[in-house]
Chains A and B, each alone.
Chain A
């Protein structure tokens, strides 16, 4: 049972499996299965042989699949470019050079159905003045900024009302990736870091609102696009998943410059 759960969880399954194996073999001597028609010795031999075969086969499968790199390539890392899909409404987080006609009048953020629009790409960066090493997996609970690729503005929210649903307006703010303190969001997920297959929530640092979509649609000139807003309560509407993108892997760093600080 332990070994099978480790297969499905895919968490450094190799080490977990080895631990499970040793635990199991310690206990195996206590179990005796009786097969009618065959003597107990032969039965034990058969079962033991079968056990060993199954275990070694599973071990081979697991250990051959898990190289050291497999764990890294499944995380969303700092500096990566992603498209974020709202899993409830199947729309991607999107922005463009169209401003809100009400509220703050800042650049609008919407949800779109199409999968091939370059305006749906957002860059994951650290918070202002924070250290976010290129290629490092984003930890659950880490504060990040989400910067729109084509316009260079940060995902932002504030105490303005959204135009269609009167929730909290979410806009794109700043220039060249620099905005203000209301650009920071925390990634909420299970586990230690943001896995690409995970559905995560984004909670705003400052207003505590969750990035959400509830389905309201805009008319002309952005017909069919959904409203993206902030809501105070977590729900099925605030789950997002990383889809297409460019995911940077951690690389071998040349010697860091930390040591130099002591000399000067």
Chain B
């Protein structure tokens, strides 16, 4: 009997240990605010929204901000990777193998660019207007109306030249100065001279990284998504920005006006006189049923309560 008691005790202990182990790991789904069946797209969208809110620079008064932000990064890193997500679902956080590839700043900058922590578009460089800036790049991103309706993420590989230190020195801040030389007693000559400072030498090296551009639901034509610091470099200053400009392609069936969707439907004369019913295929694939049982004019229009665009 004592032996049986001992076995029960050890089993209990084991169960308690496992429960504790599982609970000790973080709940990544809760951190991101998504369900267990969320798609990668939902996860990216949640991360992007929360990263803007939880960034420590945005919450200077919160002492736990850095931890929350680190949790967010870890959650995204695991749930956005299929293999890691499977392991996490099966074994919890402790079941994950070691080897975190990207640091959190890599993940963050793939959504917002290198200097993404400068929020609201106010770059610290603007305080000192003398810092030269590299060129901005504006890229027209064509999107379909379906993508605007449901939202989507576009992955982009950015290969850009980055200024790196090189051995030696170079001349920088070159300017013309007037120099006065004395030729004799009371005789002076003023000449123009090019004077340069000495700066550390810089060479341009090509670097590559993946960026995630979000096509937000309901985005309007011509809207721009900036990635700070991903533009062209400037040898003596900061890099410019990369901006994606949304260009919505014309849809063969639907037209957007404001937040409403319009479409034309052709019906026969009999249908116009007597009434009709039909199914319309919506932008995300679901069917919308419309019907009319009275005679109607050619230009009759029916407004669908839920058929428009989500805002």
Q: Do A and B come from one complex?
A: yes
Residues of A near any B CB (own CB < 8 A): 73, 79, 81, 115-119, 121, 123, 134-135, 149, 243-249, 251-257, 259-261, 263-264
Evaluate whether A254 and B146 lie within 8 angstroms (CB atoms) in the complex, with A118-B135, A118-B232 already known: yes
20 A-B residue pairs with Cβ-Cβ distance under 8 Å, sorted by A, are: A81-B137, A81-B139, A116-B134, A116-B161, A116-B234, A118-B135, A118-B137, A118-B231, A243-B159, A244-B160, A244-B161, A246-B159, A248-B156, A249-B154, A252-B41, A254-B152, A255-B146, A255-B284, A260-B252, A263-B281
**20 more CB-based (< 8 A) A-B contacts, given A256-B144, A257-B145:** A79-B142, A115-B161, A117-B135, A118-B137, A123-B139, A134-B141, A243-B159, A245-B159, A246-B158, A248-B154, A249-B157, A251-B154, A252-B152, A253-B146, A253-B147, A254-B285, A257-B144, A263-B280, A264-B253, A264-B264
Q: Are A118 and B41 in contact (CB under 8 A)?
A: no
Q: Are A244 and B142 in contact (CB under 8 A)?
A: no
Determine how close the nearest CB of chain B comes to the CB of A245; give it in whole angstroms: 6
Determine how close the nearest CB of chain A comes to the CB of B310; give it in whole angstroms: 13
- CB nearest to B163 among chain A residues: A116
Partner of A251, one of B153, B159, B242, B281: B153
Determine how close the nearest CB of chain A comes to the CB of B222; give it in whole angstroms: 13
Evaluate whether A264 and B266 lie within 8 angstroms (CB atoms) in the complex, with A115-B161, A116-B204 already known: yes
When distances are taken between beta carbons in the complex, the residues of chain B under 8 Å from A117 are: 135, 232
**How far, in whole Å, are A164 and B64 apart by their CA atoms in the complex?**
66
Q: Are B157 and A73 in contact (CB under 8 A)?
A: yes
Interface size, chain B (Cβ < 8 Å): 48
Q: Are A246 and B139 in contact (CB under 8 A)?
A: yes
When distances are taken between beta carbons in the complex, the residues of chain A under 8 Å from B165 are: none
Evaluate whether A246 and B157 lie within 8 angstroms (CB atoms) in the complex, with A118-B231, A255-B285, A263-B281 already known: yes
Q: Are B283 and A149 in contact (CB under 8 A)?
A: no
Q: Does B117 contact A (CB under 8 A)?
A: no
Evaluate whether A244 and B206 lie within 8 angstroms (CB atoms) in the complex, with A252-B41, A255-B284, A264-B266 already known: yes
Residues of B near any A CB (own CB < 8 A): 41, 134-147, 149-150, 152-161, 204, 206, 210, 231-235, 240, 242, 251-253, 264-266, 280-281, 283-285
**How far, in whole Å, are A253 and B145 apart by their CA atoms in the complex?**
11
When distances are taken between beta carbons in the complex, the residues of chain B under 8 Å from A121 are: 137
When distances are taken between beta carbons in the complex, the residues of chain A under 8 Å from B233 are: 116
**How far, in whole Å, are A109 and B160 apart by their CA atoms in the complex?**
22
- CB nearest to A263 among chain B residues: B281
- CB nearest to A247 among chain B residues: B157
Q: Are A257 and B253 in contact (CB under 8 A)?
A: yes
When distances are taken between beta carbons in the complex, the residues of chain B under 8 Å from A245 are: 158-159
When distances are taken between beta carbons in the complex, the residues of chain A under 8 Å from B152 are: 251-254
Q: Are B281 and A259 in contact (CB under 8 A)?
A: yes
Q: Are A261 and B252 in contact (CB under 8 A)?
A: yes
Closest 3 CB pairs of A and B: A118-B135, A249-B155, A255-B285
When distances are taken between beta carbons in the complex, the residues of chain A under 8 Å from B234 are: 116
Determine how close the nearest CB of chain B comes to the CB of A264; give it in whole angstroms: 6
The residue in A115, A135, A251, A261 that gathers the most chain B C-beta atoms within 10 A of its C-beta is A251
Q: Are A257 and B252 in contact (CB under 8 A)?
A: yes
When distances are taken between beta carbons in the complex, the residues of chain A under 8 Å from B138 are: 149
Q: Are B284 and A254 in contact (CB under 8 A)?
A: yes
- CB nearest to A251 among chain B residues: B154
Q: Are A257 and B283 in contact (CB under 8 A)?
A: yes
- CB nearest to B253 among chain A residues: A260
When distances are taken between beta carbons in the complex, the residues of chain A under 8 Å from B240 are: 118
When distances are taken between beta carbons in the complex, the residues of chain B under 8 Å from A259 are: 281
